[in-house]
Chains A and B, each alone.
Chain A
Amino acid sequence: MSRKAGPSRLEHALRPWRRANRMARWLVIAGTVITLVFAVLAVFADQIAPYGQDQYRYEVAGAPVDDDGDPVLESIPRRAEPGAGFPFGTTSARFDVFSRIVHGARVAFGVVVLSTVVAMGIGVPLGLISGYRGGRVDRLLVLVMDAVYVFPPLLLAIIAAFVLKEYLDPGLPSAAVAVGAVYIPQYFRVIRNHTLSVKQEPFVEAARSLGAPPRTILGRYVFFNVVQSVPVIFTLNAADAVLTLAGLGFLGYGVPYPQAEWGLDVSRAISDVVSGFWWTAFFPGLAITLLVTGLTLVGEGLNDIVNPLLRVRGYTGKVPARKEPTAEATRESDDEDITDLAKTGVV
């Protein structure tokens, strides 16, 4: 747990990657590429999207000019089939589906990031305090968090969004808080369990015996060690968060129309599907599927590599007994790094 020199630390971090099999590496690479494509869409949405998310009129070449010399805008065709000009077609409200998907990527990433900030902002400090203080506070917090954890996540997000609606104007922040509420227990659990184990480390004992106040110990020694498990939880939760947001949006508790959000767009396209316009529902849903697949591949692949046990929500596996190193060359080798993360209690 002590700080190591830079290069050896990097070496250590890369070792599981080199030892992982081709399949696991391929999964991570494919997932990263998909995720990056969406990230680029999100960041450069204004530059990439040909139209605004709720733009229904556009400029046509050779159109007449009005008194001020500006071209007269024409209405975007209603329910245009995918083709030239509108690659994914247009909606019944004359919005360009492709542009809405690009802007939707921004909402998705914004909510993932913001909800993580919310979940971490509450889960991490509580986990630190609970793990470090122990005792009655710890037991109560663990009970409450476990109770929240067994509760259906989507239902929790819906209720959170429902309550928030009365206090915040619906929009990206309130959707992010609703989604973030779901993941507080997971950050809490991991950080708490990790804190429990770090608390026993000699350097913490040493700091305590030298008379360092708890604040310093928590802030300086425990926090920086414990915070390393955060990226692991993040990769596990990001995909889930996108789906939760889409579910909220579909039920009308995400961001308000006409803001572009994929789940919301699918729900507004239900009637189109019945009358045969497939593209308004198809492409936003495809975007969700692709982004979630990409994030899952990254998360699963990384976990495959870093820790083959750490894959599934709620999995409580055992660390297999070590064998004599005769099997050094077999696949068993990827067990070696299990212990560290298994201790964090993510598993």
Chain B
Amino acid sequence: MLGRLALAPVFLFIILTTLFVLLRVLPGDPVTAALAGRLSPAQIEERRQASGLDEPIYVQYLDYLTGVVRGDFGNAVTDPRAVTEIVLDLFPATFELTVFAMVLAVTLGVVLGAFGARHRDDPLDVGGRMFGILVYAAPVFWTGILAQLVFANRLNLLPTGNRIGARVPIGDLEITGFYLVDAVLRTNGEFFVDALTHLILPGITLGLVISGVFIRIVRVNMLQTLRADYVESARARGVGDSRVLFRHAFKNALVPVVTIMGLQFALLLGGAILTETTFSWPGLGSALVDFLNRRDYAAVQGIVTFFAVLVVIVSLLIDFVNGLVDPRVRY
């Protein structure tokens, strides 16, 4: 386990280096790419110097790495804010969306997966599996558009996009950036309902996609543990059915499930980018797409770097959780 802990920075280093190389082999430098034609050559040169782009490439590389260590993800070219500021501004939106989706996905995955494993090949199991495959197969942006069509355009129940309605004076109410949390902190019912109604469609859309994978993982692992020797032994000792199911089969199935959930975090981030774009959700994902379209390499590099840090942190967290659940894991 020590190996894995030590590997995390190595992983990060490899990802960051790859990213740096990829984006710097692009013709032109970030400033020129984003602003050529809109500023005079002299202005561009000035911006380049200000961003340190006239330094030798290895100096830029070292600056980049040391910056990341200090939590500095560089500066955007087409946005006056530093990337770290952008991340702080927009990450709460992405986080709120992904947490909502994750909770939904885990709930669905555990319930349908465990039930399917317990009643293998029953109609409900087959239905659960088909549901899992379909929600995985349906592209998240398409599900999102259909949901908008039905619930927003036709039924007029929910808003199509954004995080908050125009009537809520969000500038005065925001504390943490997590609107549901802020609404609770302010004990503002209207704010809470408004934030929730905005969250529901994108949250469910993203949650469904991820749930497909979870249903499969939970089901497969429960199938394994349900026929494990210790489960049979527990039955042979007269331990009650529900206890055998939850305490033995489910808990043991959880160990690999937690690990895979960690890997699915990458999938969740990818899904978040598409969901945010579909629902004009003002998060990091839609910001990334904006910067890509503006050819702002510097901002792209910064945001992707942040995602990489996030992925590595999550994989460390997963290892930690596994250590709590599984006594065989030692650090």
**Contact residues of A with B, CB < 8 Å?**
21, 23, 143-144, 146-148, 150-155, 158-160, 162-163, 166, 239, 243, 246-247, 250-253, 263, 266-267, 269-270, 273-274, 276, 278, 281-282, 284-286, 288-290, 292-293, 296-297, 300, 308-309, 311-317, 320-321, 331-332
Closest to A154 in B: B270
Most chain B CB neighbours (cut-off 10 Å) among A151, A263, A278, A313? A151
Question: Is A163 a contact partner of B26 (Cβ separation < 8 A)?
Answer: yes
A251-B277, A311-B220 as given contacts; A152 in contact with B267, CB under 8 Å: yes
Can you sample 22 A-B contacts with CB below 8 Å?
A: A23-B126, A146-B11, A147-B18, A150-B11, A155-B270, A155-B304, A162-B300, A163-B26, A239-B137, A266-B139, A267-B141, A273-B148, A273-B153, A276-B153, A281-B142, A288-B137, A296-B133, A308-B220, A309-B220, A314-B263, A315-B260, A316-B256
Contacting residues of chain B (245-288) with chain A, CB-CB under 8 angstroms: 256, 259-260, 263-264, 266-267, 269-271, 273-274, 277-278
Interface 0/1 of B116-154, CB less than 8 Å to A: 000001000010000001101111011101101100010
Pair B224/A320 contact, Cβ less than 8 Å: yes
Contact yes or no, B137 A292, CB < 8 A: yes
The one of A143, A239, A293, A317 in contact with B14, judged by C-beta atoms closer than 8 angstroms, is A143
Enumerate chain A residues within 8 angstroms of B289, measured Cβ to Cβ: 251
Indicate whether B80 reaches chain A with its CB closer than 8 angstroms. Answer: no
**Contacting residue for B133 out of A23, A160, A250, A293, CB 8 A:** A293
CA A235 – CA B19 in complex, angstroms?
29
Contact residues in A for B220 (Cβ distance below 8 Å): 308-309, 311-312, 315, 317
Q: How many residues of B contact A (CB 8 A)?
A: 63
Query: Which residues of the partner chain B approach A247 to less than 8 Å between Cβ atoms?
Result: 139, 141, 270, 274
Give A263 to B145 CA distance when docked, in angstroms.
12
Nearest CB to that of B297 among chain A residues? A162
Q: In whole angstroms, how far apart are the Cα atoms of A146 and B10 in the complex?
A: 11
Q: Closest residue to A295 on the B side, CB-wise?
A: B137
Distance, CA A163 to CA B301, complexed state (A):
12
Judge whether B15 is part of the interface by a CB distance below 8 angstroms.
yes
B141 smallest CB distance to A (angstroms): 5
Per CB-CB distance, the 9 closest pairs between chain A and chain B, nearest first, are: A285-B142, A154-B270, A292-B137, A147-B14, A314-B263, A152-B266, A293-B137, A289-B138, A152-B269
B217 touches which one: A159, A308, A315 (CB < 8 A)? A315
Say yes or no: B27 contacts A166, CB within 8 Å.
yes
Q: How far is the CB of B85 from chain A (nearest CB, A)?
A: 21
Distance between Cα atoms of A201 and B15 in the complex (Å): 35
Cβ A159 vs Cβ B19 within 8 A: yes
Write the nearest CB–CB distance from A225 to chain B, whole angstroms.
Answer: 27
Question: Given A158-B292, A163-B26, A292-B137, A273 and B266 touching (CB < 8 A)?
Answer: no
Closest to A30 in B: B130
A21→B139 contact, CB < 8 A: no
| Residues A285 and B273 in contact, CB atoms below 8 Å apart | no
Interface string of B20-48 (1 = CB under 8 A from A): 00110111000000000000000000000
Please report B residues at the A interface, Cβ cutoff 8 Å: 7, 10-11, 14-15, 18-19, 22-23, 25-27, 121, 126, 133-134, 136-139, 141-143, 145-146, 148-149, 153, 160, 213, 216-217, 220-221, 223-224, 227-229, 256, 259-260, 263-264, 266-267, 269-271, 273-274, 277-278, 289, 292-293, 300, 304, 307-308, 311-312, 315
Let me know if A266 and B142 touch, CB within 8 A.
yes
Residue from A252, A267, A274 within 8 A of B153 (CB atoms): A274
Write the nearest CB–CB distance from B274 to chain A, whole angstroms: 6
Q: Which residue of B lies closest to A285 (CB)?
A: B142
Cα of A315 to Cα of B253 in the assembled complex, Å: 12
Is the Cβ of A150 less than 8 Å from the Cβ of B315? Answer: yes
A144 in contact with B145 (CB, 8 Å): no
Cα-based distance from A144 to B121 in the complex (angstroms) = 41
Pick the contact of B256 from A158, A276, A317, A320 — CB < 8 Å?
A317
A309 to B220, CA, bound (A): 7
Report the bound CA distance from A226 to B221 in whole Å: 27
B19 surroundings in chain A (CB, below 8 A): 159
Enumerate chain A residues within 8 angstroms of B308, measured Cβ to Cβ. Answer: 151
CB distance from B73 to the nearest CB of A (A): 15
- Give bound CA distance, A321 to B311, whole Å: 34
The reply to whether B121 and A21 contact each other, CB–CB distance below 8 Å, is: yes
Determine the chain B residues whose CB is within 8 A of the CB of A293 once the complex forms. 133-134, 137
Contacts of A331 in B (CB 8 A): 227
CB atoms of A148 and B18 under 8 A apart: yes
Taking the closest CB of chain B, its distance from the CB of A89, in whole angstroms, is 14
User: Within 8 Å CB of A317, what residues of B?
Assistant: 220-221, 224, 256
The reply to whether B256 and A315 form a contact with Cβ atoms under 8 Å apart is yes
Q: How many angstroms from the CA of A207 to the CA of B263 in the assembled complex?
A: 40
Report chain B residues within 8 Å CB of A316.
256, 259
Asked if residues B23 and A163 are in contact (CB atoms below 8 Å), the reply is yes
Q: Which residues of B contact A252 (CB under 8 A)?
A: 293
Interfacial chain B residues near A158, Cβ < 8 Å: 273, 292
**A163-B26, A243-B139, A331-B227 provided; 19 other pairs, C-beta below 8 A?**
A143-B10, A143-B11, A143-B14, A147-B10, A152-B269, A153-B270, A154-B274, A163-B22, A251-B277, A266-B141, A273-B149, A281-B146, A281-B149, A288-B137, A288-B138, A289-B134, A312-B260, A314-B259, A332-B227
Report the minimum CB–CB distance from A192 to chain B (whole Å).
17
